[in-house]
A and B are shown apart, each in its own frame.
Chain A
């Protein structure tokens, strides 16, 4: 069985962002980097599938500069067999369609039985790449998966819908699965696996070799939203704030009448 999991390296969302000089993306300085949280669940699910299938090969793919190799090593330490690094020093300048195009070009002809990825990235959050890759490869896809099972060539999965309801689906492999938070518990890499990961194959391919599509959209401007006026900010002594708040609640709502 051949499995592919596509991950992205994103900044930790606790970072304080600044807009870069070009004004179209965030500045890369003073940021802590990590694996996109949704992709962590994808990697974990892919590794669990590999463990279940026993004779499976799992590739982790990531697009970016050499910096992303750190994140790829974590995926390798979680259990991926090999890494496909798509070397691109301007990955953030590419839009979802281009990203999907690169991945689809990589996957073309490799006959992956399953392709996992997170349902969206924490930075751009367009939630398109996974399904686009499937469309480009002519494969079925299911997004927002919170439960995955594989039984003899068929995938039985549950999608998470609004209101906590789940939709149960069944589909034959090959298929693309995009993963939602809470799908599983991503494992903490063990030290022997971290050490093995250092020796696993991690080949770099220049992105130009795989980018065969044109961009369909562009970010004209990135900026901080205006603080919406009208909201009252209370600061200072806690007892005073509590009294003030109670007064406001009495006046503005019927709650403490």
Chain B
């Protein structure tokens, strides 16, 4: 099997999801080639053929043009499968490629069992085995589902590709997230607040536990959307991805988007009244309790150590 991997870069830097695509190809025992709209000075660590288009000329978001470039590569390489990250770039580009290829698109694959892709549905509460009926398949991979066991390495053989003509969507630049203050990426301990805290006043108890542990506090998306916590403390796909030594998720059910942001933490504790919450899948310890009572109690005990 040959898989075309659609790598990603932003502001010239290769994103880590690219290496998950490589790991996926390895798991599938497949041959792979890679496509990237990026910077020739910052190449992905990959031993294979890389079709590279210049990000500055093409534009990092330019779906019509990126699609055309990919189709050109497909015409040359005739892969059986095209794999993208299930990211804001991937889920935007994949349907366009699938449509042109007359291929099924299977989104957010978390595993492949006996050759059949497995996807999460209903807020990750259930799984589906999905089979393509078409000759070719496009898949998008859930962030973090496929990981490289070793550090990425290698140097690609680069073939530059260009396209004539522009796209209908004009990319006019990035808007950075409101910054300043905390950098969760550097914290060794993070205690996060989820919808289970109930009301904004309870953020204080989460922050209190974080402080007692010498760490920072974060939050899941709904808490940030409700403006109980500022955006730069959001953990998840649209917030920050963190890898602290200790992550304590309080009142967080474990929606995929949040899990994607923290499941690589070294040790994960979840505090939730629901024994079956999806967060339990990644937690090393699940404390079945009402956080509003447990968190202050735990904080007191830690303080008195």
Task: Show the binding face of A for B, using Cβ within 8 Å.
Answer: 11, 13, 17, 19, 24, 26, 95-97, 119-120, 122-128, 131-132, 135-136, 140-144, 158-172, 175, 180-182, 214-225, 227-228, 230-235, 238-239, 241-243, 245-246, 248-249, 252-256
Residues of chain B lying within 8 A (CB to CB) of residue A246: 298, 301-302, 305
Measured CB to CB, the nearest residue on chain A to B122 is: A123
Interface size for B (C-beta < 8 A) is: 90
On whether the beta carbons of B286 and A232 are closer than 8 Å, the reply is yes
Q: Is the interface of A mostly helix, strand, loop or mixed?
A: mixed
Residues of chain B lying within 8 A (CB to CB) of residue A97: 104-105
Interface string of B162-174 (1 = CB under 8 A from A): 0000011111111
B23-31, B200-208, B234-242: which lies at the interface: B234-242
Q: How far is the CA of A171 from the CA of B100 in the complex (A)?
A: 21
Residues of chain A lying within 8 A (CB to CB) of residue B64: 140
Q: Is the interface of B mostly helix, strand, loop or mixed?
A: mixed
On whether the beta carbons of B99 and A135 are closer than 8 Å, the reply is yes
Which one of A127, A233, A246 has the highest number of Cβ atoms from chain B below 10 Å of its Cβ? A127
9 residue pairs of the A-B complex, CB under 8 angstroms, read: A125-B122, A128-B95, A159-B61, A170-B169, A224-B125, A232-B285, A241-B287, A246-B298, A256-B213
Q: How far is the CA of A41 from the CA of B123 in the complex (A)?
A: 18
B175 close to A (CB within 8 Å): yes
On whether the beta carbons of B127 and A245 are closer than 8 Å, the reply is no
Residues of chain A lying within 8 A (CB to CB) of residue B234: 164
CB distance from A27 to the nearest CB of B (A): 11
Task: Show the binding face of B for A, using Cβ within 8 Å.
Answer: 10, 60-61, 63-64, 86-89, 91-92, 94-96, 98-100, 102-108, 116, 119-134, 167-178, 188-189, 213-214, 221, 225, 231-232, 234, 237-241, 245-246, 266-267, 269, 275, 280-289, 293-294, 297-298, 301-302, 305
